[in-house]
Amino acid sequence: MNIINNDRMTKIISVVLAVVFGVLVVSLVVNAVTTISTNIDTDGTLTVDGHSTLTTASSTITSQTGNFLVNGFATTTASTGNIATQGDITIVGRNLTVTTSNSSTSTIEVGCVQMYATSTATAVNLQFHASSTLANSTNGATDGLVVWKYGACPI
């Protein structure tokens, strides 16, 4: 038996095994830290440690278990269905419809009703007065006046 050949063969096998294990470890580490690009399905609770980022998240959220809070500025109450907001509500290009089972019992409370004349884009507002000495159209006494007035609602 030749000792030189066995020692040389041992060194070659050691280098080959070190390279194979090194490539295997590097590929496992790289695969573990890459972003998951496929769907994750779970039958239980998904727990994420640290921060998570969601893309293409939907705003059609339902809360079946309690109240819903939106960034501290809007809330819904689960028991009554009431919606509250601390800011303005703006409806662009659509109608605001308030209905109940009997349309005569629908109520909307506002401080001033303002609209614009379609021909001149002039602001017109509806003003309610608490008392009046004027008679109504049937010559009876009235409790107050409702007047259309040119100009924007007072701020």
Q: Where are the domains of the chain?
A: 1-33
Q: pLDDT, tens digit, for every residue of 56-107?
A: 655 555 555 666 666 666 777 767 777 777 777 777 777 777 666 665 666 6
Task: Output the pTM of the full model.
Answer: 0.31
Q: What is the mean pLDDT of residues 51-57?
A: 68
d(CA 85, CA 78): 15
- Given the structure tokens 């007035």, which residue do they identify? 149
Which residue is it, tokens 């509806």?
A: 126
Which tokens is 34 given? 């890459």
Give residue-wise pLDDT tens across range 121-131: 778 877 766 65
